[in-house]
Amino acid sequence: EAGVVQSPRYKIIEKKQPVAFWCNPISGHNTLYWYLQNLGQGPELLIRYENEEAVDDSQLPKDRFSAERLKGVDSTLKIQPAELGDSAVYLCASSFGGTPSTEAFFGQGTRLTVV
């Protein structure tokens, strides 16, 4: 079974440019998360989807970040315009919701560098 797939793995852009990340969760997983991880820090939740509904986006900087999950499967996270401080690893994770013990599986992440 394929794991969580993210693309691209690496992205270098100039500040003020737009960028988009894509995530394909594990088949059947209804819950999808986007996390941001800075160097030396733990992942921080940006947004969580239950199927196609964003149920927790309180940490998403909505002035420049947007996300969507069409048909409750794949998801994209967009930044427009990017700032230098957005340089980080963006992790997508998925889980099959049901109990508080649900394990989240992570993709390999997209390392974004804004120059």
Q: What residue ranges bind other proteins (CB under 8 A)?
A: 31, 33, 40-45, 48, 50, 56, 91, 95, 97, 100-109
Q: Considering beta carbons, is residue 25 or 109 the nearer one to other proteins? A: 109
Measured CA to CA, the distance from residue 12 to residue 95 in angstroms comes to 29
To the nearest whole angstrom, how small is the minimum distance from the Cβ of residue 81 to other proteins?
Answer: 27
Can you tell me the distance from the alpha carbon of 91 to that of 100, in angstroms, rounded to the nearest whole number? 21
Nearer to other proteins, 28 or 40 (CB): 40
**CA neighbor of 81 nearest in space, from 7, 14, 11:** 14
Query: In b/e form, how buried is each residue of 52-81, taking b as 16+ CB within 10 angstroms?
Result: eebeebeebeeeebbbebeeebebebebee
Q: How many residues does the chain have?
A: 115
Closer residue to other proteins, CB minimum distance, 25 or 43: 43
**Least Cβ distance, residue 60 to other proteins (angstroms):** 13
Q: Which is nearer to other proteins, 44 or 68 (CB)?
A: 44
Q: How far is the CB of 48 from other proteins (least distance, A)?
A: 6
Least Å from the CB of residue 1 to other proteins:
15
Task: Give the integer Cα–Cα distance in Å for 24 and 8.
Answer: 12
